[in-house]
Structure 1
Amino acid sequence: MMELNSQFTSVINHIKQTSQSVDCSGAAAFVIHNDNIVVEEYWGTQSKEANARIVQANTQFHVASVRKSYIGFAVAYAIYYGYIGSIDEKISLYFPEIKEELLSDTTIRHLLTHTHGLVEKNGCIMREFAAGTSWAYRSVGVDLLTKLVKETTGKTIAAILQDTVFTPLGLQETGWYADEKENFVDVIRAQNDSLWKTSQSVNGDKMNMYVSARDLAKWGYFHLKQGNIGGTQIVPKELIQLATSVQSPDGIHRDLPQNGCLWFVKDKQAKKTEIGATVPKGSFQILGYTTVTLLVIPEKNLVAVRAFNSFGSPEGYNYLEDVRSFGDTVMECC
């Protein structure tokens, strides 16, 4: 049900301001509050080309690391249904090709919470710090998780999501794509950006995921309602709870971010968190390098999405400060 109102005007203004701070040609805002769509706005065009298609409801944005919330769901699925014995199983059980002394006591929990301490350099996996002692955002952990899901379930990330969530919810503007479509944004990025990668894989293991703002909001709403949509339990609520509750190991420094299954989760106040200071405990968020953000605040029965077609942070733009203030601005409207 759509009941657009002016309560969230400052959120819209915040997103518009961010769109002027990053290098983008178009943006979108979508907010669901108390089970109603209260914000749905689109600006600009899908590229900087002349006569470019305007950003609209079915425009799909490159979500970058927001894809990790879908990977986290697939891992939670594998754990819940017993394909993986425990979140605290050592990953050496599943990756015998990697030297066991390198993996040491690294567990699935460590991979899910960015506390694994592994880093890949020049094609080789190396240890950066002892597992469970610190926090670092490294792609090697996500790569291992996608392989883990395929090995244990026999299904790809994409197949699990399609069968379990996308089809039941009718999400037709969400997926991993080998080829571009007319409703895809053009990702605006610096030339030769080393972080930009394309892929022909549609298995859910690469960074080629495009999602519309409205589909991303539905994904967040699905988690907000713990898998129960319209009175139908699409997936067990325990699976969602596993994905969105704090799984970070005890003992890491209090100022390091806290994570669920790759989601950033608000628990204790932490100086290095990406979640706004006024956003309450139990909220969870995911942010991409394209500045696309999905914030879920159960205490306020709210889902907020912002989407842009930028890639990276231009000089003078502080992404952490910006995404925190996005959450705080949302809270001011509740």
Structure 2
Amino acid sequence: MVDGKTTLHTAVGHALRYKAGPVELPASKRVVMKPDAIFDLASLTKVYTALLVLRLVDQGKIDLDAPLRKYLPEFTGTGKGTITIAMLLAHTSALPVGAKVTGLPDNAARWKAVLTTPLVKGGVPGTTFRYSSVGLMLLGRLVEKLTGKSLDKALRDNLLTPLGLKDTGFQPLKWVTDKKRLVATDARSSRGLLRGTVHDDVCNHLGGIAGHAGIFGTAKDVAVIGQLLLNGGTHNGKRLLSADVLKKALTNVNKGRKAIDADRPNRTADHGLGFELNQPWFMGRLAAPTTYGHTGFTGTSLLVSPARKTVVVLLTNRAHPNWSWSNPDTHRVAVHNAIA
């Protein structure tokens, strides 16, 4: 999208090409990708969770600089009392990437494990960028507590409905009528072929609804999120986020901090409150101090370039049939370079 208008919306390849095994399907049984295909957005979910948190900030229900423990006293563990909402959004909490929830008997035990996840060894909150899905799991839990609704319903009522996004949500098998629109991911998992079931294992163990992963949607719907941000928090003339809070969210809050990322050793710590900033490793030549966005493990990405008044959504199913066969960053960079 450029200046609010769709300039390119296309689909290539297949929404389904393999069955469990993985075994490649004959051409007659493959499902061609279409522009209205519904993807597992993976960590793009974090953007939606961040927006829900920012709306609560606008409403005076959350103080970004307050410790999470103020709202969730069950968030316990050594050294965790100083972790603030802002740190969780900026990935400087010193929490690890993931939580250990497998083998636990029920959802209550799994969420307790999330809430009591220890800091990384030697980690000091507020000092270093370490990407953490645990942080967004906790913020999803916070949204539930402060809205009095499950995260899927809070998302629906506070973001999807106001934006008119009918092709976005958790647990798509419950609301997608034409299952051919669902894009397949892993075909070699212990759960068999994944199509309409969340790829992220932790989210799956938590019932498919969590703050770090689990949302499914179309490229068109994701672009609306990008345009909301580009418009300064308004949609069709209606304000969903204040300009002040959004400005804070899109400002680099990690200046001078070290970044630790084993997968991307050349990355910087530049990050807002819920948004990656100026990251050439996926933005390519569209990277700039004001450019922001996010990526998802399944091969998804959202990029917003205010200087160009441009929103770029790239949704791929690189995790079909096997997430390890392809590095999506090369594809992201190639597309963004072509646009640049």
Instruction: Please state which band the TM-score falls in when normalised by the shorter chain.
Output: 0.7 to 0.9
Q: 1:244, 1:260 within 8 Å by CA — same for their partners in 2? A: yes
* Secondary structure of residue in 2 paired with 1:303: strand
Instruction: Give CA deviations for 1:207-247 in whole Å, capped at 9, x if unaligned.
Output: 33210111111221111112323434344333433433333
Work out which of the residue numbers 332, 335, 339 in structure 2 matches 1:323.
332
Per the alignment, residue 166 of structure 1 pairs with 160
Work out which of the residue numbers 253, 257, 263 in structure 2 matches 1:252.
257
Q: 2:318, 2:328 within 8 Å by CA — same for their partners in 1? A: no
Work out which of the residue numbers 74, 78, 83 in structure 1 matches 2:56.
78
Work out which of the residue numbers 65, 80, 83 in structure 2 matches 1:106.
83
Question: 1:51-200 alignment to 2 at 5 Å?
Answer: 51-84=29-62, 86-99=63-76, 101-119=78-96, 120-121=99-100, 123=113, 125-128=117-120, 129-177=123-171, 179=173, 181=176, 182=179, 183-192=181-190, 195-196=200-201, 198=204
The Cα shift of 1:281 comes to 1.8
Instruction: Give CA deviations for 1:34-87 in whole Å, capped at 9, x if unaligned.
Output: 222111111233211543443223210111001110001011111111111x21
How much is the aligned-residue C-alpha RMSD, in angstroms?
2.8
After the TM superposition, which of the residue ranges 220-229 and 234-243 deviates more from structure 2?
234-243
Question: 1:272-311 alignment to 2 at 5 Å?
Answer: 274-276=282-284, 278-311=286-319
Counterpart amino acid of 1:302?
T
Q: 1:173, 1:212 within 8 Å by CA — same for their partners in 2? A: yes
Specify every segment of 5 or more residues in structure 2 that has no aligned partner in the other structure, as ranges.
Answer: 18-24, 102-112, 192-198, 260-266
* Secondary structure of residue in 2 paired with 1:41: coil
The Cα shift of 1:184 comes to 1.1
Q: Does 1:44 align with 2:54?
A: no
Q: 2:172, 2:216 within 8 Å by CA — same for their partners in 1? A: no
How many residue pairs were aligned? 293
- Cα separation, 2, equivalents of 1:220 and 1:325: 20
Q: Among the aligned pairs, what percent are the same residue?
A: 22
Counterpart amino acid of 2:222?
L
The Cα shift of 1:288 comes to 0.4
- Cα separation, 2, equivalents of 1:171 and 1:232: 15
Structure 1's 234 and 127: CA in aligned 2 closer, same or farther, altered over 3 A? closer
- Cα separation, 2, equivalents of 1:157 and 1:252: 32
- Cα separation, 2, equivalents of 1:234 and 1:132: 29
The Cα shift of 1:140 comes to 1.4
Structure 1's 277 and 257: CA in aligned 2 closer, same or farther, altered over 3 A? farther
More strand by share: 1
Per the normalisation by structure 2, the TM-score is: 0.76
Q: Does 1:213 align with 2:225?
A: no
Instruction: Give CA deviations for 1:252-288 in whole Å, capped at 9, x if unaligned.
Output: 127633222321122xxx78x6433552221111110
- Cα separation, 2, equivalents of 1:65 and 1:253: 22
Instruction: Give CA deviations for 1:62-121 in whole Å, capped at 9, x if unaligned.
Output: 11001110001011111111111x211112223323435330421111111111002345
